[in-house]
Structure 1
Amino acid sequence: MVVAGIMAANAQPQIAQHFHTTQIAWFSLSFTLATIVATPFAVSFGSAYGKRRVMLVLAAVGLVGDLVTVLAPTYSVMVFGRVIGGLYGPVAALTLAAARDLFPPRKATVALGTIAGSLGILALITPLLSAWLLDTHGWRGALWFLVGSTLVAFTALLCIPETPRRPATGRLDWPGALLLGVALSLTIIAIGQGNAWGWASATVIALFTAALGSLAGFLISEMRAEEPIVDLRMLRRRATATVLLGSSLSQAAYFASASILIFLALYPSIPGVSDGLGWSALHNAVIGIPGGLVTFGAGIGVGRAARTVSPRTLWYAALVILAAGFVCAALYHSSQLQVITCSLVIGLGGGMLMAGQQTMILSVVTPQEQAAATGMASLLGQVFLTLSSQALYLTLAADSTTVAGTSFYRDRAFTNAWLLMAALVLTGLLISAAIPALRCTDDHVSEPADVS
């Protein structure tokens, strides 16, 4: 999943210019929306039939989506392929849940920290590979590699043991998932077209109204469902609600922010049109190596430190560092040295954030609730990622110039986009301020801290 995300994100500038589209945001949004709808069912099926079995099915479907995407003759067909590929997205949540099932409780936090830290290694290697593919074989070469990586992932899944099965006690909430997908789709369409159609236009108002209606229907469905997508009873506990909401919002901002640097680095420098740095994909990948190493080290460090240091303390530090990194990038991004320096700060905060979220979830739920909490965290993360990504592209478009059907971004667009990400992280920090004191992970192997 990490390889797919990085490879696809790096290919976006070339894809936008190849298809002459101003709607490049849908390349990622379509994938994310499909993941949102599929995640709750994947988690439920994983508990009932075994996570390994479900991940194998999702990987097979994802392979079909990758093939449709790389062979697409038009941009609309490519977006359709990304929708199919998005059904592979829930594997991320199932991987974390499987780690909890396969490792003893006292080793679970270290395992989760190692998983989070390994993202830094992938973030180090994958950009170099994608850069070579993009520079020598173009965007189709990069997307063909995704096909191969999905096939490798499928093979690797065959080698892991199956997880324990916990059959569901009620019917899955199909209406809830569909209503949530409709609400998000209508919202991002309204946000994306607000400037073009007018924020006070009847069409935009109707879209927002329909989105609110779908959201209301989703909440009603959750209260009545035997197997809800979002367990509202669990969210009534202050610790659980603040951990899930604050961490999901902040993590979404971190993941969404990657697109800013990609467009800044790979878009050309054209006076009066584009303020990109005009780097090659390989040059940009090399520049990202220090940040990837820091992300890896931070993830490993948090997983170990959480055994003796309060997860809440580590979490606050992660959010402050990450927000500072975004502000740094907003103010200083015109040279190689500036980009490297700010990337180090962002990488440190991001690595701590990814490992810290899983550690805090372990701190506020019982072992029996961990699968459901992981599913909700993944779902909320995807929801916030969808909304923050659309807000990000809207911010970039506000200071852009369209040439031959492609939108190029000015310097102020990049500055405002990073400031937006900083604001989202600080909002997550504000929510997290309500998290009660949490015990170190060694203190709650069997039970969580007081989560009332």
Structure 2
Amino acid sequence: MPRPPAPESRRRPSPSAITAVLALSGTLVALMQTLVVPLLPDFPGILGVTADDASWLVTATLLSSAVATPIVSRSADMYGKRKMMVVCLAIMVAGSVMAAVGGAFVWLIIGRALQGFSSALIPVGISIMRDELPKEKMGSAVALMSATLGIGSALGLPLAGVLYESLGWASIFWVSAAAGALLLLAVVLVVPESKVRTPGSFDYAGALVLSGALAALLLAISKGGSWGWGSEPVLLLFLTAAILLAAWVPYELKVRQPMVDLRTSARRPVLMTNLASLLIGFSMFANMLLTTQQLQLPAVTGYGFELSVITAGLCMVPSGLAMVVFAPLSGRIIRIFGGKTALMAGALVMIVGYVGRVFFYDSIAWVIIGSTVVSVGTAIAYAAMPTLIMGAVPITETASANGLNSLVRAIGTSTSSAAIAAVFTSVTMSVGDTRLPSFDAFRDIFWLAAAASAASMLAAVFIPRAAGVRRPPATAAGAAELVVQGRVLAPDHRPLTPAVVTVLQTDGDPVDWSRVDTEGNYSVALPGAGKYLMVANAAGWAPMAEVFDFDGRTLKQNFMLRERLELGGSVTAGGRPVAGAMVTLLEASGEHLATTRTDDDGTYAFPLPLAGRYVVTMLHPVTLQAVARKLAVDNRSVALDFAAPPVEETSGERVGA
């Protein structure tokens, strides 16, 4: 008789509802970033501040989002993804209300900083999609969420203008607060809390140092144009960022549970994807800034169209809609060809769009078409990035890994804004008494953005091909993922590190993997109860593989590796062991690695070095006879014996060999 589904599975929201709510969160993030942009020219008069002061309404959000994204993403992996979405939305709503009712400039800055917490909704939301959606819907859902960034940015510009002219500047913050409150309610009602957690303690010191480094770096990038790239404040900020990062990296490599797993981030799939993301972020933001500026510049420039803010914003709507329309295509490309191909295809479309914009710019239609083509490429590339990241990191780290990827993209967009400002102030033309950027400035940025897209393609070439996000089917209807923890230990119960635990289905399909922390702890996510092949491997030790049957109740599994890999052997003379002989291990290039002496039975041993070529030397303690041997080491124990003539045959003479 068929087993009825569990009550929890009957109450489970549909994948479409979960996708819709999470995708709307992406739209909200884009709105938070763009709603105040059209009002920046008017805020100095409204608030009685300078134009440079008014720019802090954008800078404050940029800085808080850079700080909040990695911290919230890591917290989501540890304490719950839906919980952190609710926290971010609550903070964003509070900031919106504060900006609307505060009146004074300082309250607007604080409110805009709190709105920046919304940026973490995207990486956390994407990781929820991985946890909650069926495998066949993952690609299109992630693509749609990435596309909502475009539609949110496109809608933010005209929406802000309409609200400002109709209801006043405070209305943009009231609308933000209302949208955030409705989305918060939808998250609570629709989005389930993921059972996949990474236990442990939060890296407060790492978070503090990283926040300081990011704040200094992004503040220097965003203010370099107005303060002067060679000014003391900007140079001091860059120096501060460098010093903090120089201290943060070694600390993160040593701490038990780091804020950012740098070893995982340095793996080629993650590193190259993040590099490509930085470059795509640069190209994407250039498209939005250049399009709106060109449409609003005076017609007397020869390439501007003198449109109002609202009309220029409406011209961006086709770009946003195209991203949504092409989201299913992005998901199909990812599902059939993989994330690497999708990323390269998106970058190629962006190159075509930018090259076209160099030569076709003399009508509004051509500007809209060029912008739309670039946006289509952005949608495809943006959809591929989270897929590549989630396919290369442990399941229990998907939120923090996507948070780092989002942060890298934000650095790319900030750099793009700074580069555009620098070019626009140096490549200019005179229009009456005003200096405006010439079209050569636009052309230079178009080529620069095309070059960045081409460089992202080059980075994608070095991403290994992978099937995509590891999400095997659950073993039973309604089964929830199980998090299994344990330690990798030596025979004397010492933790072994570095070590990795990998989990496979019994048919060979990959499930998850985990790098152990400094105390030997690991954490992996299984799609449900059942039999799994688990493999533990530590540097210098023979790996261990075993099939375990998890019942959903006992979720602890330790590994004790018993066979230590070593380079060893014996030293004899005339068939008798030689005690006290000196044996030295050198790299083939001559660097000294280790020295030991033989025991009473004439044996010696070194921990197995990394794969490579080495020289091993033996020095007899009495005759001073020296012997050297070349040796190639892979990942297996090596036995190397030395035989020397007996003492009586050498008559105490020193012999070299």
Q: For the superposition of Structure 1 and Structure 2, which TM-score range results when normalised by the shorter chain?
A: 0.7 to 0.9
- State which of 31, 49, 59 in structure 2 corresponds to 1:29: 59
User: Greater strand percent: which structure?
Assistant: 2
- State which of 213, 228, 246 in structure 2 corresponds to 1:216: 246
**CA distance 1:118–1:423, shift in 2 (3 Å):** same
- State which of 182, 185, 194 in structure 2 corresponds to 1:152: 182
What is aligned with 2:598?
Answer: none
Deviations 1:32-55 (A, max 9, x none): 221221222212322333222221
- State which of 319, 326, 340 in structure 1 corresponds to 2:368: 340
Q: Is the contact between residue 29 and residue 118 of structure 2 (CA under 8 Å) also seen in structure 1?
A: no
Following superposition, the deviation at residue 234 of structure 1 comes to 0.8
Deviations 1:34-92 (A, max 9, x none): 12212222123223332222211211111121223344545554333211211222111
Inter-partner Cα distance in structure 1 for 2:409 and 2:174? 28
Deviations 1:132-166 (A, max 9, x none): 32443454433332222112211211212332244
What is aligned with 1:132?
Answer: 162
Following superposition, the deviation at residue 222 of structure 1 comes to 1.7
What is aligned with 2:39?
Answer: 14
Q: Is the contact between residue 73 and residue 124 of structure 2 (CA under 8 Å) also seen in structure 1?
A: yes
**CA distance 1:413–1:192, shift in 2 (3 Å):** farther
Percent pairwise identity: 24
SS across alignment from 1:364: coil
What is aligned with 1:305?
Answer: 333
What is aligned with 2:260?
Answer: 230
Q: For residue 367 of structure 2, what is the amino acid of its counterpart?
A: V
**2:283 paired with 1:258:** no
Inter-partner Cα distance in structure 2 for 1:21 and 1:401? 22
**2:354 paired with 1:326:** yes
Inter-partner Cα distance in structure 1 for 2:173 and 2:461? 41
* Runs (5+) with no aligned partner, structure 2: 1-25, 45-49, 474-508, 514-657
- State which of 341, 345, 349 in structure 2 corresponds to 1:317: 345
The worse-fitting range, judged by mean Cα deviation, of 51-60 and 28-37 is 28-37
Inter-partner Cα distance in structure 1 for 2:53 and 2:228? 18
What is aligned with 1:41?
Answer: 71
**CA distance 1:131–1:369, shift in 2 (3 Å):** same
**CA distance 1:393–1:13, shift in 2 (3 Å):** farther
Inter-partner Cα distance in structure 2 for 1:67 and 1:376? 29
SS across alignment from 2:335: coil
Q: Is the contact between residue 91 and residue 117 of structure 2 (CA under 8 Å) also seen in structure 1?
A: yes
Q: Using CA pairs under 8 Å that are at least 6 residues apart, name the structure with larger relative contact order, 1 or 2.
A: 1
What is aligned with 1:291?
Answer: 319
What is aligned with 1:164?
Answer: 194
Following superposition, the deviation at residue 242 of structure 1 comes to 0.9
Inter-partner Cα distance in structure 2 for 1:14 and 1:182? 29
Q: Is the contact between residue 326 and residue 379 of structure 2 (CA under 8 Å) also seen in structure 1?
A: yes
Inter-partner Cα distance in structure 2 for 1:197 and 1:88? 28
- The structure whose Rg is larger is 2
What is aligned with 1:62?
Answer: 92
**CA distance 1:67–1:362, shift in 2 (3 Å):** same
Q: Is the contact between residue 148 and residue 320 of structure 2 (CA under 8 Å) also seen in structure 1?
A: no
What is aligned with 1:177?
Answer: 207
Inter-partner Cα distance in structure 2 for 1:223 and 1:247? 24
Deviations 1:428-450 (A, max 9, x none): 22322211233366998853899
Q: Is the contact between residue 222 and residue 414 of structure 2 (CA under 8 Å) also seen in structure 1?
A: no
Inter-partner Cα distance in structure 2 for 1:431 and 1:36? 24
SS across alignment from 2:464: coil
Q: Is the contact between residue 321 and residue 346 of structure 1 (CA under 8 Å) also seen in structure 2?
A: yes
**CA distance 1:165–1:400, shift in 2 (3 Å):** farther
**CA distance 1:401–1:73, shift in 2 (3 Å):** farther
**2:423 paired with 1:360:** no
Following superposition, the deviation at residue 93 of structure 1 comes to 1.2
What is aligned with 1:389?
Answer: 417
Deviations 1:337-378 (A, max 9, x none): 121110221121011112111232244345444334323222
Deviations 1:377-423 (A, max 9, x none): 22322333333333333444445799xxx997554444444444333
Q: Is the contact between residue 392 and residue 420 of structure 1 (CA under 8 Å) also seen in structure 2?
A: no
5 Å-filtered alignment, 1:402-441, equals 411-439=439-467
**2:343 paired with 1:280:** no
Inter-partner Cα distance in structure 1 for 2:140 and 2:323? 16
Measured on the aligned residues, the alpha-carbon RMSD in Å equals: 3.6
**CA distance 1:36–1:189, shift in 2 (3 Å):** closer
Deviations 1:161-200 (A, max 9, x none): 3322444443322233332332233334444555666655
Q: For residue 275 of structure 2, what is the amino acid of its counterpart?
A: L
Q: Is the contact between residue 86 and residue 184 of structure 2 (CA under 8 Å) also seen in structure 1?
A: yes
TM (norm. structure 2) is 0.60
Q: Is the contact between residue 50 and residue 164 of structure 1 (CA under 8 Å) also seen in structure 2?
A: yes
Inter-partner Cα distance in structure 2 for 1:187 and 1:73? 30
- State which of 439, 447, 450 in structure 1 corresponds to 2:510: 447
Q: Is the contact between residue 15 and residue 139 of structure 1 (CA under 8 Å) also seen in structure 2?
A: no
What is aligned with 1:269?
Answer: 298
What is aligned with 1:84?
Answer: 114
Q: Is the contact between residue 102 and residue 108 of structure 2 (CA under 8 Å) also seen in structure 1?
A: yes
Inter-partner Cα distance in structure 1 for 2:377 and 2:36? 25
Following superposition, the deviation at residue 124 of structure 1 comes to 6.2
* Runs (5+) with no aligned partner, structure 1: none
TM (norm. structure 1) is 0.84
What is aligned with 1:377?
Answer: 405
**CA distance 1:14–1:106, shift in 2 (3 Å):** closer
The worse-fitting range, judged by mean Cα deviation, of 60-69 and 19-28 is 19-28
Inter-partner Cα distance in structure 2 for 1:57 and 1:75? 25
